[in-house]
Amino acid sequence: MDVEREAERLVETYADTILRLAFVQLGSTADAEDVCQTVLMRLLTHAPRLNGPDHERAWVIRTTINACRDLLRSAARRTTVALEAAGEVEAPPEPDGTVADAVSRLPRDQREAIHLHYYEGLPIAQVAQLVGASEAAVTKRLSRARETLRHTLGGES
């Protein structure tokens, strides 16, 4: 298959999913775009033999999660500075109360579960496999996330 056509197919098929998942994980558009490029290049050049579109999609999601975790680990080491060197920092903007804002403030493991289950439409068993947790753990993460969102967004308890 022509490499250029394959690259176009991969971008059309997976770029949106990778960008959304990476943004949920990282909270930065620039970092999400970097991860997207990295994952697509890995898929194009180093992907193992994949058995069909479902296997390919699972590989993309798993690779995206791993790339985000790698970036978070490396960024934490590179951005550490002495407290005195930090200076004054502006307060973060007030949240506007939208669901996306509330989801973005959840702990990473809950954000990941919410995104994969509700935004990507994956069943709990597949989410568990992709994030390397048990189905019970993913179910608990979703439950905790829903409870936090209910309180944050002013829903009924």
- At 111-155, the pLDDT tens digits run 989 988 988 888 999 999 988 999 999 999 999 999 998 888 876
Residue 75 has pLDDT above 70, yes or no: no
Any alpha helices (H) in 27-132, and if so which ranges? 29-45, 52-78, 83-86, 99-104, 108-114, 124-131
Percentage of the chain modeled with pLDDT above 90: 34
Q: What is the pLDDT of residue 109?
A: 92
- Of 46 and 92, the structure prediction assigns the larger pLDDT to 46
Looking up tokens 């920092």, which residue turns up? 89
Residue 63 · residue 25 · CB < 8 Å: no
Rounded to two decimals, what is the model's pTM? 0.61
Residue 73 has pLDDT above 90, yes or no: no
Q: What is the pLDDT of residue 19?
A: 92
CA gap 114, 152 in Å, rounded: 15
CA gap 114, 110 in Å, rounded: 6
Q: Who contacts 126 (Cβ-Cβ below 8 Å, separation ≥6)?
A: 58, 116
Residue 99 has pLDDT above 60, yes or no: yes
